[in-house]
Amino acid sequence: MNDEHWMRLALAQARGVVNEVPIGAVLVRDGTVLGIGANGPLTHTDPTAHAEIQALRAAARKTGNYRLPGSTLYVTVEPCTMCAGAIVHARVARLVFGAREPRAGAVVSTLEVLDNPGLNHRVEVAEGVLADECAKLVQDFFRARRAVGRDRTV
Across residues 95-107, what is the average pLDDT? Answer: 97
One-character DSSP codes across 3-50: HHHHHHHHHHHHHT--SS---EEEEEETTEEEEEEE--HHHHT-TT--
Res. 150 pLDDT band, cuts 50 70 90: low
Phi-psi sector, 128: left (phi>0), alpha (psi -120 to 50), beta: left
Across residues 111-135, what is the average pLDDT? Answer: 97
| Per-residue pLDDT at 77 | 98
| pLDDT higher than 70, residue 153 | no
| Per-residue pLDDT at 148 | 81
Using DSSP's 3-state secondary structure scheme, residue 65 falls into: coil
pLDDT for 43-84, tens place per residue?
A: 999 999 999 999 999 999 999 999 999 999 999 999 999 999
Angle (CA) 71 22 102, round 5°: 80
Judge contact between 119 and 151, C-beta under 8 A.
no
Active-site residue (options: 4, 20, 52, 127):
52
Residue type, 11: L
**pTM score of the predicted model:** 0.94
| Per-residue pLDDT at 1 | 79
| pLDDT higher than 70, residue 109 | yes
DSSP-assigned letter for residue 96: E
| Per-residue pLDDT at 152 | 55
Across residues 126-142, what is the average pLDDT? Answer: 97
52 is catalytic: yes
Measure the N-to-C terminal CA separation of the chain; round to a whole number of Å.
35
- Return mean pLDDT, the chain: 95
Across residues 89-103, what is the average pLDDT? Answer: 98
- List strands edge to edge, sheet with 32-38: 32-38, 24-29, 72-77, 94-99, 124-127
Across residues 83-98, what is the average pLDDT? Answer: 98
Measured in whole angstroms, the distance separating CA 22 from the mean position of its chain's CA atoms is: 10
